[in-house]
Amino acid sequence: MIDSPEEREKALRRDGLLIGVAVVCMLNGMHFSPWINLFAAALAPLLAAFYITSPILLFYFASLTLGVATAIVAGVPAALYERAKGLGESDGASLGIWLVTAMVLTIPTVITFFTGS
């Protein structure tokens, strides 16, 4: 239970950073990402083994997988920071590291979106 206004502000800041990470990772999983074809090619045999052969489902699963992979890879520096500091739970700095790393991983997608290539 959050009692004080300081704790509420801290929780709101953490939630905002987590929402930011989720949005950036979803952006990296969009159809204009330069990595989507690689993920689709890797997933096609796996999905075919489960009799999922629809191209639209392949696209959705590739998009989802790419977004989740972005979140996982971007979380590694934040986890290393938390381990080095000996933190028991994530604080604003580690969530900020996670967000910035996700943004760096999303740069090729943003460039592709604006250049159209």
User: Please, are residues 23 and 103 in contact by the beta-carbon 8 Å criterion?
Assistant: no
Q: Which amino acid is at 13?
A: R
DSSP assignment, residue 10? H
The Cα–Cα gap between 62 and 29 comes to 8
In sequence order, the 6+-apart residues with CB closer than 8 A to the CB of 83 are none
| Predicted structure pTM score | 0.86
Percent of the chain with pLDDT over 70: 97
Q: What is the pLDDT of residues 69-111, one digit of tens each?
A: 999 999 999 999 999 999 888 888 999 999 999 999 999 999 9
The Cα–Cα gap between 77 and 91 comes to 14
The Cα–Cα gap between 14 and 86 comes to 18
Q: Which amino acid is at 7?
A: E
- The first and second tokens of residue 65, run together, are 């997988």
State the first-to-last Cα distance of the chain, in angstroms, to the nearest integer.
49
The total of other beta-carbon atoms located within 10 Å of residue 82's CB is: 20
Domain ranges of the chain: 21-110
In the predicted structure, residue 66 carries a pLDDT above the cut 90: yes
How high does pLDDT run on average in the chain? 92
